[in-house]
């Protein structure tokens, strides 16, 4: 299907020819192999590239006044990339985006030996909501829960909708004790939230299963998912509206699992050089 919001081929080709001329002028007299990425004008790029030993890259700032068609194409591509990882109903990360984030956070936890905790959540008796009030009401419930997750989590956390009424919350740099406090707060907020469905007001509850690495061993993403899912199943069987916790996956025999470790503190402080209103609001 043709997208009438995108610039014409002629406009794009014209601006690409201009960029090509600029590249030839900048590399005159030498043979250059370049990996070029179009960026918005950003004076920090040369220093950032030098810092990462990539100063041989050719950087072409993309000025919107000079290259409007390419700027619009770049924004369109970035928007499509974002939508591929987003659940359209709730605005949370979808399963694809969650899997990508999990890979990154496992790598980070392995490299810096920091904790990583995963919570799998499932709305209780959600089928009854759809059957009684209809799917539009069910959508309202899902959106309300997503809004609560976004408001209660930290900026470094990832909330995802990974199934129909199933959510995931990935907590980097967070040990089990701190994660449980956050999850208890989320569970309490969900329980007291009233959701309008026509003339009726609904209250819902959520069961949660939690699995955690302390940072002593590299996290296994499959094991995290399996153990969190098992814990969720136990929560459902034990009466719902509760949090069940898997044994810490890298605990050393005889250690106290409730200890707050320096690794977790270092991780959190490294992400926030100065306190913000968001972090103060969500401080345990």
Q: In angstroms, rounded to a whole number, what is the distance separating the alpha carbons of residues 147 and 140?
A: 11
Q: In angstroms, rounded to a whole number, what is the distance separating the alpha carbons of residues 42 and 39?
A: 8
The answer on pLDDT for 167 being more than 90 is yes
Is 22 annotated in the active site? no
Task: Indicate the helix (H) or strand (E) that contains 170.
Answer: strand 166-172
pLDDT in tens, 75-110: 665 565 555 688 888 989 999 889 989 999 999 999
The answer on pLDDT for 141 being more than 50 is yes
Q: In angstroms, rounded to a whole number, what is the distance separating the alpha carbons of residues 51 and 153?
A: 32
The answer on pLDDT for 202 being more than 80 is yes
pTM of the model: 0.65
pLDDT in tens, 51-82: 656 555 555 566 677 777 777 766 665 565 55
Q: In angstroms, rounded to a whole number, what is the distance separating the alpha carbons of residues 213 and 220?
A: 9
Q: In angstroms, rounded to a whole number, what is the distance separating the alpha carbons of residues 219 and 222?
A: 9
Looking at 15, 105, 152, 165, which residue is catalytic? 165
- Most distant pair of Cα atoms in the chain: their distance: 75
């Amino acid at each position: 299907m043709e997208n009438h919001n995108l610039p014409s081929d002629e406009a794009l080709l014209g601006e690409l020819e201009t960029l090509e001329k600029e590249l030839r002028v900048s590399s005159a007299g030498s043979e250059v192999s370049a990996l070029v990425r179009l960026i918005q004008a950003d004076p920090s790029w040369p220093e950032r590239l030098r810092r990462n030993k990539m100063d041989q890259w050719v950087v072409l700032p993309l000025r919107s006044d000079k290259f409007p068609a390419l700027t619009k194409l770049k924004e369109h591509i970035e928007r499509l990339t974002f939508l591929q990882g987003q659940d359209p109903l709730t605005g949370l990360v979808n399963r694809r985006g969650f899997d990508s984030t999990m890979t990154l956070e496992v790598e980070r936890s392995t490299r810096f030996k920091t904790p990583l905790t995963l919570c799998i959540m499932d709305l209780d008796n959600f089928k009854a909501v759809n059957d009684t009030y209809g799917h539009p009401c069910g959508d309202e419930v899902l959106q309300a829960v997503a809004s609560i997750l976004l408001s209660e989590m930290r900026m470094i956390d990832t909330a995802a909708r990974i199934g129909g009424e199933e959510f995931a919350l990935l907590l980097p740099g967070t040990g089990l004790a701190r994660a449980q406090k956050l999850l208890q707060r989320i569970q309490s907020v969900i329980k007291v939230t009233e959701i309008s469905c026509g003339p009726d007001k609904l209250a819902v509850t959520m069961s949660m299963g939690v699995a955690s690495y302390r940072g002593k061993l590299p996290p296994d993403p499959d094991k995290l998912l399996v153990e969190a899912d098992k814990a969720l199943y136990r929560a459902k069987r034990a009466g719902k509206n509760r949090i069940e916790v898997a044994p810490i996956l890298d605990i050393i025999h005889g250690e106290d699992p409730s200890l707050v470790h320096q690794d977790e503190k270092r991780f959190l402080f490294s992400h926030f050089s100065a306190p913000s209103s968001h972090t103060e609001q969500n401080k345990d």
